Amino acid sequence: MTYKNSITNKAQASLEYMSIFGIVFVLIAIVGGIFFAYTNTAKANLDQEQLNKIGTELIDDIQKIYFFGDTNRRTYKTTFPQGIEAMSIHHINESGANYYYLNITSFFEEELRSLIFQTSEDYIAIVCSRTCTTTGTGSIEEISMYNISYLRQGFKNIKIEAFNNTVIVDFVD
């Protein structure tokens, strides 16, 4: 009888250790999954906020340079996050009124997001001369798309220059 009780006690102890290990493993897996999901969401939100800051600061600098007058320039230094799909300047001529805005399109969390930044004054003309291609010249809507090679993640220099009642915004190599 003693031998049988000894085997039963050992088997019960082993079963208890395995069940405790299993419960701890499941809890660690759940906490790890929650942590991973939270960090991915937090990173996407931080990247989106960084793009919002970049667009707002660019528009502020464009307005300042415009009001300082011709030959004024500034180099805006920033770091682009990962996920920028497109950056463009839109010019819309609607019944004689001109509207210019900056559009930054990003791809975060499996969805395309478009951030629009417009100057406070509609008469501030924003153009790109060297680092973009323009479509729809002379029509109701003109779009200047920046070359995708300038939109990769990393440090960027963007030159903002007033010239002939226009603000030129280009990337610096």
Q: Which residue has the higher pLDDT, 25 or 10?
A: 25
Q: Is the pLDDT reported for residue 75 higher than 90?
A: yes
| pLDDT tens-digit series, residues 86-112 | 999 988 887 777 888 899 999 877 888
The two three-digit tokens of residue 98, written as one number: 């001109």
Q: Is the pLDDT reported for residue 1 higher than 60?
A: no
Lowest mean pLDDT among 104-108, 112-116, 129-133, 147-151: 129-133
Collapse the DSSP code of 54 into the 3-class scheme (helix H, G, I; strand E, B; otherwise coil) and give the result.
helix
| CA–CA distance, 93 with 107 (Å, rounded to integer) | 29
| pLDDT tens-digit series, residues 30-58 | 998 888 888 877 888 888 899 999 999 99
Contact of 71 with 162, CB cutoff 8 Å: yes
When pLDDT is averaged across residues 13-32 and rounded to a whole number, the result is 88
